Amino acid sequence: MTSSTECSRLRLSLGVYVLGAIEPAERAEVDAHLSVCRRCRDELASLAGLPAMLGRVTEEQLEQLAPPPAELLDSVLSKAANENRARRRRERALWIAAAAALIVIVGVGIRAMVGSGGGTVAERSPRPPRPPATTTAPVRTVSAKDPATGVRARIDLQPKLWGTAFNVRVSGAPQGSHCHLVATDKKGRKDIAGGWEVQYMGGSASFAGASMIHENDLASVEVLTTEGRRLVLVKL
Amino acid sequence: MGPTANEGLLRALYAEHGGPLLGYVLRLTEGDRHQAEDVVQETLLRAWRHPEALDGRPIRPWLFTVAKNLVLDAHRARRSRPPETGEAGLAAVPATDEIGRALESWTFAEALADLSPEHRAVLIETYYRGRSVAEAAATLGVPPGTVKSRSYYALRALKLALEERGLAP
């Protein structure tokens, strides 16, 4: 037999019972009560899984829940601020490079008009070099040698989502030439593909470029001096 | 969108996840606090650099995964050669559900942290420190009957807190 006051008193002991903190004499009393009280057995069952969950947490974790010392946050924030500053500097440098390229090209255009007049470099638009793309795609290699200038170019073309990446190796150009790369698409549109200020110092020189023209729209790629003189034309 | 001067994101991540993240990494680095803090910094910076990576997915699993990979990378870099199949080095790689169990354990910890200080204290004394009712009563300065009832109500409150987090025992 079990009275309701005994039931409520012993039910409160179910906490320390499942936690294993109950005194042995009381444990025997609770055990005896459980054998005759279904409601307390149900209550015990609903609490019985909790100590296992407590076992998955260490006391140390409870202390570690609070955010770590502010110094660590300060350090993260100052690194983030440094990265922001560096990024803004890079962006500024790109604008300056683009402006410089524009000046070079305007100069080339004027010289081309004043000079031989046979230039084919009228429609170029300045564009800063693009960062190297991360995706890899099959590379196609084309090469040619200009019989007149004796300049040889070997160009690796890599299709990209935004156009084409170039890796160019030039040999046989006059020492000190400032070379750049111009890509032409099938409709005759030209696109400066970068490398406009590479100084050729003999032997074999290589530089990277990039164009918005997609690889399958490319008609030719040529290496020009910044004076607009064609060193070699590679047809595709 | 690239990284911006979004200090707010870093502060919020730090406040909400900084503690569990550092605690988790400290275990992975076997208590090397210096390395653990470096890993936490780099993990938070990666979240800040790529906020789009956090879009529409729970943040903490992402943070734990990135942190674990950083610890593993550092571990592999310290070894002169990469681990080969069957080598003892593989034992150092936590099982794939290790992150899941760690995340769950931090959720339990947070449920415990939600309890009132009195409820938490009585569970710490009885469960974590293995004290009997009489010992806990002496330590906490309350009658034994209070230890019993508080333990009972603390467990009921914990059960509710776990259910709120979708973790019914």
Shortest CA gap A221–chain B (Å): 33
CB contact under 8 A, A16 and B37: no
Cross-chain CB nearest to B134 (options A23, A81, A87): A23
Tokens of B13: 């991540």
**Does any CB of chain A come closer than 8 Å to the CB of residue B37?**
yes
- Which carries the bigger pLDDT value, residue A33 or residue A6? A33
Q: Among B48, B108, B147, select the one facing A16 at the smallest CB separation.
A: B147
Residue B165 has pLDDT above 50, yes or no: yes
pLDDT (average), residues A58-80 = 88
Mean pLDDT value across residues B41-48: 93
Provide the 8-state DSSP code for B1.
Answer: -
**What are the tens digits of pLDDT across the range A83-98?**
888 888 887 777 777 7
Joined tokens for residue B90: 């593989």
Cβ distance A236 to A220 under 8 Å?
Answer: yes
What's the gap in Å between the CA of B17 and the closest CA on chain A?
7
- Asked if pLDDT for residue A18 goes beyond 90, the answer is yes
Closest Cα to residue B122, out of B143, B100, B96?
B143
The pLDDT assigned to B128 comes to: 92
Of chain B residues 112-131, which have a CB less than 8 A from chain A? 112-113, 120, 123-124, 126-128, 130-131
Range in A94-103, A212-221, B8-17, B100-109 the model is least confident about: A94-103
pLDDT of residue A117: 45
Question: Do residue A76 and residue B134 have CB atoms under 8 angstroms apart?
Answer: no
Closest A-chain CA to B104: A56
Is the pTM value of this prediction over 0.90? Answer: no
Segment B99-110 mean pLDDT: 89
Assign B133 a pLDDT band (cuts: 50, 70, 90).
very high
Q: Are strands A140-145 and A163-171 parallel, antiparallel or unpaired?
A: unpaired
Cα–Cα distance measured from residue B41 to residue A75, given in angstroms and rounded to the nearest whole number = 8
How far apart (Å, rounded) are the C-alpha atoms in residues A55 and B128? 8
pLDDT (mean) for A139-153: 86
Q: Is the pLDDT of residue B90 over 50?
A: no
- CB distance B10–A81 less than 8 Å? no
Contacts of A155 (CB under 8 A, 6+ apart): A141, A142, A143, A166, A167, A168, A169, A221, A234
* Host H or E run for residue A165: strand A163-171
* Measured distance CA(A143)–CA(A61) in Å, rounded: 64
Determine the average pLDDT of the residues in B135-140.
Answer: 96
Contacts of B132 in chain A (CB under 8 A): 21-23
Look at residue B98 and tell me whether its pLDDT is greater than 60: yes
Across the interface, which of A15, A20, A46 has its CB nearest the CB of B154?
A: A15
Among A153-157, A217-221, B82-86, B152-156, the least confident range? B82-86
pLDDT over 70 (residue A199): no
The confidence score (pLDDT) of residue A108 equals 61
- pLDDT score for B91: 40
Provide the token pair at A127: 């564009």
Angle at alpha carbon of residue A103, lines to A98 and A107, rounded to 5°: 145
Percentage of residues of chain B with pLDDT beyond 70: 85
Determine whether the interchain pair A67/B10 forms a contact, defined as Cβ–Cβ distance below 8 Å.
no
Q: Over range A181-199, report the average pLDDT.
A: 70
The per-residue pLDDT for A164 is: 77
pLDDT, average across residues A193-199:
54
The C-alpha atoms of residue A105 and residue A98 are separated, in whole angstroms, by: 11
Q: What is the pLDDT of residues B52-81, one digit of tens each?
A: 777 777 889 889 989 998 988 887 777 655
CA angle B108, B111, B113 (to 5 degrees): 110
Query: pLDDT tens, A19-30?
Result: 999 999 999 999
Task: Indicate the residue of B10, B108, B126 with minimum beta-carbon distance to A53.
Answer: B108
Q: What is the percent of chain A where pLDDT is above 90? A: 22
pLDDT, averaged across chain A: 78
What burial class does residue A205 get, using C-beta atoms within 10 Å of its C-beta: 0-12 exposed, 13-18 middle, 19+ buried? middle
Is it the case that residue A213 has pLDDT exceeding 70? yes
Nearest to A72 by CA among B19, B123, B161, B27: B19
Indicate the SS3 state at residue B68.
helix
Please list, residue by residue across B71-100, b when 16 or more beta carbons sit within 10 angstroms of its beta carbon and e when fewer do. beeebeeeeeeeeeeeeeeeeeeeeeeebe
Q: What is the pLDDT of residue A106?
A: 64
Picking from A126-135, B16-25, B96-105, which range would have the lowest pLDDT averaged per residue?
A: A126-135
Q: Please name the amino acid found at residue B116.
A: S
Is 60 exceeded by the pLDDT of residue A73?
Answer: yes
- Residue A110: pLDDT band by 50, 70, 90 thresholds? low
Give the model's pLDDT for residue A109.
60
Kindly state the greatest CA–CA separation across chain B.
Answer: 62
- The answer, yes or no, to whether residue A64 has pLDDT greater than 80, is yes
Is the complex ipTM more than 0.90? no
Phi, psi for residue A100 in degrees, rounded to 5 = -65, -40
Among A158, A76, A159, which Cα is nearest to B48's? A76
Residues of B numbered 48-87 whose beta carbons fall under 8 angstroms of chain A's beta carbons: which are they? 48-49
Res. B125: pLDDT tops 80: yes
Integer Cα distance of A34 and A7 in angstroms: 9
Asked if residues B143 and B150 have their Cβ atoms less than 8 Å apart, the reply is: no
State the nearest Cα–Cα gap between A46 and chain B, in angstroms.
8
B168, B124, B160, B154: which is closest to A12 by C-alpha?
B154
- Given CB atoms, is B147 within the 8 Å cutoff of chain A? yes
| Closest Cα in chain B, distance from residue A100 (Å) | 26
Q: Confirm or reject contact between B31 and chain A (CB < 8 A).
A: no
Mean pLDDT for the stretch of residues B129-150: 96
Least confident segment among A110-114, A150-154, B48-52, B102-106: A110-114
Are B110 and B158 within 8 A, CB to CB? no
Is pLDDT of A63 > 70?
Answer: yes
Q: Is the pLDDT of residue A1 over 60?
A: no
